[in-house]
Chains A and B, each alone.
Chain A
């Protein structure tokens, strides 16, 4: 049912129906934005990149053959955009606005402050990971994206995706432990 709706949406977009493309953007914007924001760690840059993704989708729709699911194709474009962004230095400090604000809100509440501090350390550690690991971590823990979907999108064998995800988490764990020492 979902696939049928997806195919219909793609066909309507292809026939130049602007409302259909708007529907597509509305449907995938949160997923695309969250994936990119979590990978690049900079909200304003993430918005630019997410717009790039939809621009590429718009240009690529006439050539989309429907062999893969639309969402898989979109993940692939997101992955390409994020990995191209790899050459830029990771914007570890760019989430600081949100975190500073969050810390201010936490005030004197110790538990909350502890949570924010933990999240802050986690975000900083993630920002230090290689881009492909950041993308894997971002995608895997978002709306329950499964290994199969990730493997399809990244055009990697399932085993490689699992191994890379474990390695990413190992690295994260070591970084967090080193920070504590």
Chain B
């Protein structure tokens, strides 16, 4: 039996995981170096078992949850920005596509005429409507008042 063989078993013996068999036990009983190694392994084992376990600091949970919330908010922001950029890109692509289509097919010239037509039509419509504007405003006010009274009455009935 060599010391190396006994020393290899010292940690397991000290931890109580292995019982020294006859050869190892007799070597440990006769070899002062190996016996001393076993003794220091036992001391180390005791010290490691008695090592205090530090507890989490006070407010650890609150601080951790706050950090999780911040991280989630940042990630949501990132998703929102990405979504908005994607929507912007889609809108730009659609507008660009329509614009190109109008130019390629010659519809741009027609649409310009159509815009002029609608523009002048709107001006004529506004001129005709303008004199009756107070009448329309009064009617709208009456309608809103009636709706308000109805809403108020309904709310009281619900209570």
A70 to chain B, nearest CB (A): 17
Interface CB pairs A-B, < 8 A, 20: A21-B65, A22-B65, A26-B61, A30-B53, A30-B56, A34-B53, A34-B54, A37-B54, A47-B60, A51-B60, A51-B64, A55-B68, A122-B48, A141-B49, A142-B53, A166-B11, A169-B14, A172-B44, A173-B40, A176-B44
Nearest chain-A residue to B8 (Cβ)?
A: A166
- Which A residues are in CB contact (< 8 Å) with B57? 33, 43, 47
A128 to B145 alpha-carbon distance, docked (Å): 83
A142 to B48 alpha-carbon distance, docked (Å): 9
The SS class assigned to the B binding surface is helix
> What is the interface size of chain A, counting residues whose CB is below 8 A from a CB of the partner?
36
| Cβ B65 vs Cβ A25 within 8 A | yes
A166 to B65 alpha-carbon distance, docked (Å): 38
> What is the interface size of chain B, counting residues whose CB is below 8 A from a CB of the partner?
26
- Interface 1/0s, chain A 55-89, versus B by CB < 8 A? 10011000000000000000000000000000000
Q: Which 9 A-B pairs give the minimum distances between C-beta atoms? A: A33-B56, A29-B56, A34-B53, A166-B11, A37-B54, A169-B11, A141-B48, A25-B61, A54-B64
- Interface 1/0s, chain A 147-181, versus B by CB < 8 A? 00000000000000000011001101100110000
- Known contacts A34-B55, A122-B51: A169-B44 contact under CB 8 Å: yes
A43 to B12 alpha-carbon distance, docked (Å): 31
Which B residues are within 8 Å of any A CB, using their own CB?
Answer: 11-12, 14, 37, 40-41, 44-45, 47-49, 51, 53-57, 60-61, 63-65, 67-68, 71-72
| Cβ A169 vs Cβ B49 within 8 A | no
- Interface 1/0s, chain A 8-33, versus B by CB < 8 A? 00000000001001100110011011
Which A residues are within 8 Å of any B CB, using their own CB?
Answer: 18, 21-22, 25-26, 29-30, 32-34, 37-38, 43, 46-47, 50-51, 54-55, 58-59, 118-119, 122, 137, 141-143, 165-166, 169-170, 172-173, 176-177
A14 to chain B, nearest CB (A): 14
- Which B residues are in CB contact (< 8 Å) with A54? 64, 68
A141 to B14 alpha-carbon distance, docked (Å): 14
Nearest chain-A residue to B75 (Cβ)?
A: A59
| Cβ A43 vs Cβ B54 within 8 A | yes
- Known contacts A26-B61, A30-B55: A118-B41 contact under CB 8 Å: no
| Cβ B12 vs Cβ A166 within 8 A | yes
A70 to B51 alpha-carbon distance, docked (Å): 26
B18 to chain A, nearest CB (A): 10
| Cβ B11 vs Cβ A170 within 8 A | yes
